[in-house]
């Protein structure tokens, strides 16, 4: 275990894979994370049962990989650990189905804390409630495992009924390959709130808004749509890759002095104190449950706002320009192939 960080970090030597090998694991769902967890566990010597609806389109894919497939209820009834890897919006209904099958001392595990943290699922006190959350899409969790590499992950224990929930979760993390890279200990609250905040303010909401507004500013000023696309969207990957590899310093060291000076002197004028105030407001909405209640209500109503916003995003001018430009490059074929790999198993299972 490393003590260099604020939160404990565990590695392969800290985990005993035999703990999870002695248990039967039900993986509910065979989407992005589900297929990766199930296959990695299986190849780590764990008895795995995949829990899918009888009409699930993923049944044949799981069976073709040599995995046993049962209904979620049947899988949970036989398992010592139930890993719930269906979408957040589906989890409460799935939990209602499997709850009678959970025995005292069983482990109920998640890869995201939303439903536990916001009270949409309230497990019995006699079961463990844990989280093992790889910090990567499932196709990379699988690919890294096959390449004898690791994917960083998170570990949290919400409820320890058996007294060894932490060891079970850490063993599971090792079996899917996360302990090769490092498993950071956290809490359900910290993981949920930071995850939602990061998605909304930076990773998904903030970045896409910044890209679109930069694009629109150039186009409205009379510059070509193609140049606006290249400068505000296409080159973003180059910058993000540099930051991913070596942090902000690596990025600044790699771009031109002109780009560095321009960024250092102008960046805070775009994302200024007003933006920071908005970020703090969004964080409050995450912390007090405002966003969670809004999202839950949106789903109960059939997602009208979500569908409208998603449609508007797809029809933005930058999408049409990007589709045409990406077709000019050889890497477009590679990205299309990767996208097919990522979506070969549906997330709605």
- Give 298's contacts (C-beta < 8 A, 6+ positions apart): 304, 305, 306
Specify the DSSP element, H or E, that contains 183: strand 183-185
Residue of 37, 112, 117, 139 marked active site: 112
Tell me the C-alpha distance between 49 and 71, whole Å. 9
Whole-angstrom Cα distance, residue 148 to residue 306? 39
Please check whether residue 123 is in contact with residue 129, taking contact to mean a CB–CB distance below 8 angstroms: yes
**End-to-end C-alpha distance for the chain, whole angstroms:** 35
CA distance 73 to 51: 8
CA Rg value for the chain: 22
Q: List C-alpha distances in Å: 199 to 153, 158, 283, 307.
A: 17, 23, 11, 18
112 is catalytic: yes
Compute CA 57 distance to the chain's CA centroid, rounded to the nearest angstrom.
22
Neighbours of 331 (CB within 10 A): 9
Burial of 91 (C-beta count, 10 Å sphere; 0-12/13-18/19+): buried
> In the chain, which residue ranges form alpha helices assigned H by DSSP?
18-21, 32-43, 59-64, 72-78, 91-98, 114-117, 138-146, 165-175, 178-181, 188-198, 205-220, 225-229, 236-254, 257-270, 273-287, 290-300, 304-314, 317-326, 331-342
Catalytic amino acids?
112
């Amino acid at each position: 275990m490393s003590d260099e960080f604020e939160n404990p970090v565990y590695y392969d030597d800290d985990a005993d894979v035999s703990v999870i090998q002695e248990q039967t694991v039900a993986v509910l769902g065979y989407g992005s994370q589900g297929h990766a967890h199930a296959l990695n566990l299986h190849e780590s010597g764990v008895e795995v049962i995949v829990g899918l609806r009888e009409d699930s389109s993923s049944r044949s894919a799981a069976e073709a990989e040599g995995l046993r497939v049962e209904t979620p209820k049947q899988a949970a009834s036989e398992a010592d650990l139930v890993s719930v890897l269906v979408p957040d919006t589906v989890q409460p209904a799935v939990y209602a189905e499997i709850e009678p099958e959970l025995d005292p001392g069983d482990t109920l595990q998640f890869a995201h804390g939303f439903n536990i943290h916001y009270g949409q699922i309230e497990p019995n006190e006699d079961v463990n409630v844990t989280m093992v959350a790889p910090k990567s899409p499932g196709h990379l969790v699988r690919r890294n495992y096959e390449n004898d590499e690791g994917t960083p992950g998170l570990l949290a224990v919400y409820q320890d009924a058996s007294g060894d929930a932490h060891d079970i979760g850490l063993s599971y993390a090792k079996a899917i390959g996360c302990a090769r890279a490092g498993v950071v200990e956290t809490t359900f609250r910290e993981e949920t709130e930071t995850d939602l905040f990061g998605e909304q303010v930076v990773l998904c909401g903030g970045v896409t808004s910044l890209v679109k507004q930069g694009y629109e500013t150039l186009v409205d000023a009379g510059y070509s749509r193609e140049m606006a696309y290249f400068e505000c969207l296409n080159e973003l990957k180059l910058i993000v890759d540099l930051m991913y590899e070596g942090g902000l310093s690596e990025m600044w060291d790699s771009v031109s002095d002109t780009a560095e000076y321009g960024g250092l002197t102008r960046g805070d004028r775009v994302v200024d104190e007003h933006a920071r105030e908005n970020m703090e407001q969004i964080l409050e909405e995450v912390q007090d449950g405002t966003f969670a209640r809004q999202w839950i209500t949106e789903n109960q109503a059939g997602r009208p706002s979500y569908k409208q916003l998603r449609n508007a995003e797809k029809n933005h001018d930058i999408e049409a320009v990007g589709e045409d430009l990406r077709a000019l490059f050889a890497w477009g074929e590679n990205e299309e192939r990767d996208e097919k790999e990522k979506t070969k198993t549906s997330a709605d299972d």
